[in-house]
C-alpha cells in the first residue's frame, strides 16, 4: 500500500475551521461500565490539537454493532462523559446524528459528540448511494474531515470512507502513529522478528499467519486457536475450542513453514479444566495427552517460559491475542508471562487487538512498558495481511 501521501494534521489549515473528526471510541463495556478506556485516551491528542487551533469539533464514532437500531445499551452518552473527563473540558452530546442542531451550532473551541453513527443503517450499508447520503449530512457540519478512528479504517463506512471524498482531509495523530508502527512491522523489520498469536479463533488470524509466514523468524501460537493446530498434528484435544473446517489449511501452513525454515512454536503443556468457568479446577497436562473430558484454557508454564525465551531473543515482536482465557485469573498466567517478556524486548514490541490491550492493562501492566499498544484489532490485522484499508486509501 502506498501511504507516502497521507496528509498530516499539521499540513492542513485548521484555524477557526469546523472539523468533523472520526474517532474510535468503541470501548469494552460491562454492565454499562467502561472496562478499558484505552481508545478514549488515544483519541485525546488530536482533539486537543484541534482545539488549540481554534477549531470547532464535531466527533463521530461508533459503539458495537447496533445494525441500524437505536439500542440504548450501545449509546455513546456514557462515553461522552468519560471523554470529557479525559479531555478536561466539556463535551456536548448530541442525541441526533442527522440534522443535529448541536453539531450545526458548534463554536470554535467546543466539542460535540454525535450519537453512535451505527444507529444509522446507511453507515455500514453496501449501497454506495445510501452511504454517500449520510456522508453528505456529516460533511455539512464541517469544513474539514480528520480521520482518527484507526480501529475502523478497515471498514468502507460512510463516516470512515465516503466522507473523506467530500471534504479536505487529513489523518489524525492516532491514525498516523498506528500506520507508522505497522510500516515498521512490514518494511524491513529488525531481526529476529517474532510474532505471537493467540485469541479465540484461527479464522480471525489465518490471513495474517499466511501473509507473515515468509516474513517472520519465529511464530508462536497460543490461545483458543492453538487447538486447531494440535488437531492438525493429529493430537487429542478433548473439549477444547476447535475449528475443524480449518484443519486442512493449518496443515498446509505447517508444511509451508517447514519449507521456509520458519520456526513455529506450539505449546508443549496446557492448562485444562473440566468446563469453561472461572471456578473450574485447573490442571497442567502435556499437549500430547489432553484428557477427553477436559478443555484447554491456557498455555502451560513450560510453554509460557519457552515463548518468553523466544520473545526475548527478538528485536521486533508483534503480539495479538491472549494466550488463554485471561478473564479468569486461573487461566491468565500464559498471557501474563508473554506480556512480561514483551516489556523487556530491546527493539520494538507491539501489542495489537482489543482484548490483548485490555488484557495487559487488566494484568497490571502500564502502556509505557510496551513499544506500542495498538488500538486497532481488525484494522492492524488486515494491514498485516497485506490488504488495503479503505479508510486509509480514502485519505490518499
Ligand atoms: P484480540 O481482541 O486481542 O484480537 P481475540 O478477540 O482474538 O483477541 O480473542 C480474545 C479472546 O480469546 C479472549 O476473550 C479469551 O478469553 C479468548 N481465549 C483465549 N484462549 C482461549 C481458550 N483456550 N479457549 C477459549 N477462549 C480463549
Ligand atoms: Mg477481540
Query: What is the distance between the alpha carbons of residues 93 and 80, in angstroms, rounded to a whole number?
Result: 6
Residue 214: alpha-carbon gap to chain centroid? 23
- Strands annotated E in the chain: 18-22, 29-30, 33-34, 56-60, 92-94, 111-114, 144-147, 169-171, 193-197, 218-221, 263-265, 269-273, 283-286, 295-299, 316-320, 348-352, 372-373
**How far does the centroid of ligand 1 lie from the alpha carbon of residue 200, in Å?**
4
Residue 148: alpha-carbon gap to chain centroid? 14
Whether the pTM exceeds 0.85: the reply is yes
- Pick from 61, 53, 45, 59: which is nearest to 108 by CA? 53
Query: With a 6 A CB cut-off, is 36 part of the ligand 1 pocket?
Result: no
Q: Is 82 a catalytic residue?
A: no
Active-site residue identified among 82, 201, 251, 256: 201
Query: With a 6 A CB cut-off, is 371 part of the ligand 1 pocket?
Result: no
Active-site residue identified among 321, 354, 377, 391: 354
Query: With a 6 A CB cut-off, is 149 part of the ligand 1 pocket?
Result: no
Query: Given ligand 1 and candidates 38, 200, 276, which is best to mutate, with the most ligand atoms within 8 Å of its CB?
Result: 200
Bridge partners for 33 per DSSP: 30
Q: Is 300 a catalytic residue?
A: no
Query: With a 6 A CB cut-off, is 282 part of the ligand 1 pocket?
Result: no
Q: Is 378 a catalytic residue?
A: yes
Cell of 328: 479468569
Query: With a 6 A CB cut-off, is 194 part of the ligand 1 pocket?
Result: no
Q: pLDDT tens per residue, the chain (396 residues)?
A: 444 578 999 999 999 999 999 999 999 998 889 989 999 999 999 999 999 999 999 999 999 999 999 999 999 999 999 999 999 999 999 999 999 999 999 999 999 999 999 999 999 999 999 999 999 999 999 999 999 999 999 999 999 999 999 999 999 999 999 999 999 999 889 999 999 999 999 998 999 999 999 899 999 999 999 999 999 999 999 999 999 999 999 999 999 999 999 999 999 999 999 999 999 999 999 999 999 999 999 999 999 999 999 999 999 999 999 999 999 999 999 999 999 999 999 999 999 988 999 999 999 999 999 999 999 889 999 999 899 999 999 998
Query: With a 6 A CB cut-off, is 321 part of the ligand 1 pocket?
Result: yes
Query: Given ligand 1 and candidates 208, 220, 330, 355, which is best to mutate, with the most ligand atoms within 8 Å of its CB?
Result: 355
298 Cα nearest atom in ligand 1: 23
40 burial level (CB within 10 Å; 0-12, 13-18, 19+): buried
Q: How many helices (H) and strands (E) does the chain have?
A: 13, 17
Sorted by where each starts, the structural domains of the chain and their CATH numbers stand as 9-177 (3.40.50.1260), 188-384 (3.40.50.1260)
Amino acid at each position: 500500500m502506498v501511504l507516502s501521501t497521507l496528509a498530516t494534521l499539521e499540513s492542513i489549515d485548521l484555524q477557526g475551521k469546523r472539523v468533523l473528526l472520526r474517532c474510535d471510541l468503541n470501548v469494552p463495556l460491562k454492565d454499562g461500565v467502561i472496562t478499558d478506556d484505552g481508545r478514549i485516551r488515544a483519541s485525546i491528542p488530536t482533539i486537543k490539537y484541534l482545539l488549540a487551533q481554534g477549531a470547532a469539533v464535531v466527533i463521530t464514532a461508533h459503539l458495537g454493532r447496533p445494525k441500524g437500531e437505536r439500542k440504548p445499551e450501545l449509546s455513546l452518552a456514557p462515553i461522552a462523559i468519560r471523554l470529557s473527563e479525559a479531555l478536561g473540558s466539556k463535551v456536548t452530546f448530541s442525541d441526533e446524528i442527522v440534522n443535529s442542531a448541536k453539531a450545526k451550532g458548534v463554536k470554535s473551541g467546543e466539542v460535540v459528540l454525535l450519537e453512535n453513527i451505527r444507529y444509522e443503517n446507511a453507515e455500514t450499508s453496501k449501497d454506495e448511494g445510501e452511504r454517500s447520503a449520510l456522508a453528505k449530512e456529516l460533511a455539512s457540519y464541517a469544513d474539514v474531515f480528520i480521520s482518527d478512528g484507526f480501529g475502523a479504517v478497515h471498514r468502507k463506512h460512510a463516516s470512515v470512507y465516503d466522507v473523506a471524498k467530500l471534504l479536505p482531509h487529513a489523518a489524525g495523530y492516532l491514525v498516523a502513529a498506528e500506520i507508522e508502527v505497522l510500516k515498521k512491522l512490514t518494511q524491513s523489520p529488525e531481526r529476529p522478528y517474532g510474532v505471537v498469536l493467540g485469541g479465540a479463533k484461527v479464522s480471525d488470524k489465518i490471513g495474517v499467519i499466511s501473509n507473515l509466514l515468509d516474513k517472520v523468524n519465529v511464530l508462536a501460537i497460543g490461545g483458543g486457536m492453538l487447538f486447531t493446530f494440535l488437531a492438525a498434528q493429529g493430537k487429542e484435544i478433548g473439549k477444547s475450542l476447535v475449528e475443524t473446517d480449518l484443519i486442512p489449511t493449518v496443515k498446509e501452513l505447517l508444511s509451508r513453514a517447514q519449507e521456509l525454515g520458519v520456526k513455529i512454536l506450539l505449546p508443549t503443556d496446557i492448562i485444562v479444566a473440566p468446563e469453561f468457568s472461572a471456578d473450574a479446577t485447573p490442571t497442567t497436562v502435556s499437549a500430547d495427552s489432553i484428557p477427553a473430558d477436559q478443555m484447554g484454557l491456557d498455555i502451560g508454564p513450560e510453554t509460557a517460559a519457552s515463548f518468553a525465551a523466544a520473545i526475548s531473543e527478538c528485536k521486533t515482536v508483534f503480539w495479538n491475542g491472549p494466550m488463554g482465557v485471561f478473564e479468569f485469573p486461573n487461566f491468565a498466567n500464559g498471557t501474563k508471562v508473554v506480556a512480561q517478556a514483551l516489556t523487556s524486548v530491546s527493539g520494538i514490541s507491539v501489542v495489537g487487538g482489543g482484548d490483548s490491550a485490555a488484557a495487559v492493562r487488566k494484568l497490571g501492566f502500564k502502556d509505557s512498558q510496551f513499544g506500542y499498544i495498538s488500538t486497532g484489532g481488525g484494522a492492524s490485522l488486515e494491514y498485516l495481511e497485506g490488504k488495503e484499508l479503505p479508510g486509509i486509501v480514502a485519505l490518499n
